[in-house]
Structure 1
């Protein structure tokens, strides 16, 4: 073979050897990917902090799903959550609730206490033993332009028109200081200070406020001794509800729990027109003698008319 050809082949082989050697050196210098990080165990400080927080939290029994009334609770309906502040009177062990029967619908997320198993609906848990809940029909005028809210106090005004059975029109406060329990579907607080209605979302609350403005019924807490008076007032004339100021802190004990409650009743009775005036019309006053002393009068009833005649 020609020596020149041999030398050319040798040169090509040398160049190839140098190229592949350089390529192998480059590949060998690429960084090796680090091994995946292993999860580190929590530090002693984190474990101590978590343990301390867990000891300060208090267990509370809550419902994990909706429970219908009159159905005994099972362990599957309940869960134990630890809260920083436990609600007053809440149950702290699942065994305290298993087998007990609620008397009303309980929603998921509700924390349980003794009142969760007491009988009676929302209104029954909003009034005291000497009160009665009475619904009154209202419109935009009667109901203070739709601005009434549960918890307000109102005076019930009565207007009697002049007609054949009522010769003299009159206006009076039929029943003062009545507590508003509900306006339409919106309820206030129960006697233990808890909302009578379940907590609503922002959208549902907005819809409820809109329905409250257009409500056609208002439920009042009426003292038992004034129940018949308010019932009579709703039938014989036109009612108005006058809202009282929230600054009157005495309203919460106006009719009950206060020694002055009987005095308030006497004042209300004194300000009210006579029953004959309220039911049948105004009776004329008895005439006065020339000497200034009133003469005794005899009440004469003719049908639905009541008159006073002096013998």
Structure 2
């Protein structure tokens, strides 16, 4: 009897230990209902509307509406956009993959975005006299004149002409249409001090690409001057009154059927004319003198290689000597 009692007592102790362990295990498991309530009551991370690329976007191509879509992200990248209105039509400077956030630093900015198709931004040297007493400001419209002067006393062949008409000033000295840039190169704040235009030495003009050669030659061999004009004055010289300057490189001949004579191609324009180049002789004499009264013959502005046994004809006629930095260039005049 005593042994049976001891066995029952041991079994009861063992059962108590098992039940105690089970209770401890149950106490370690979270209550699903309590866990769900805690999840509902916990603050959720904020979601941000961000514009991303809906498909691969190539660099240098304007962004189209179908290239973009908006998503909800838990982060808000610096420079991100909330809607597509401020992005469509802009040009990315690097390729963007699918679902890549489109950021402000990915888009082209600065003066390049203010230049019209077919235009180029070109800086020219200026001083107080040639820039209307430093009264030129970014956004103004100016006419560009140049002068060639004889230095040997024969001033009758000196000349001054309008080179460009109604050209927009993109920047003047430290002032620019896209805002003055601080020395560290970061974007300037709206509270930046006004640029000190009295120290300006350059002006950046927006000009057609075919006009760049003429400006470079005129600046290298003469003197450029800006004349300020009223922005509402839209008058410009008649384009067809004077023939265009002949290019240094002559266009190729368009060949028709085998027995047909070769005919010149159309007059080069835009970038083709810029590639053709301009000789100082053409700039000084003018297209009318080089082409002749009829304007039908194209004279090469640069001498071609002489054929075997042929001697180059000696130059004749009046000329203008352009002296710059100790170098003397002689330009023949009609």
TM range (shorter): 0.3 to 0.5
Larger Rg belongs to: 1
TM-score by length of structure 2 reads 0.43
TM-score by length of structure 1 reads 0.46
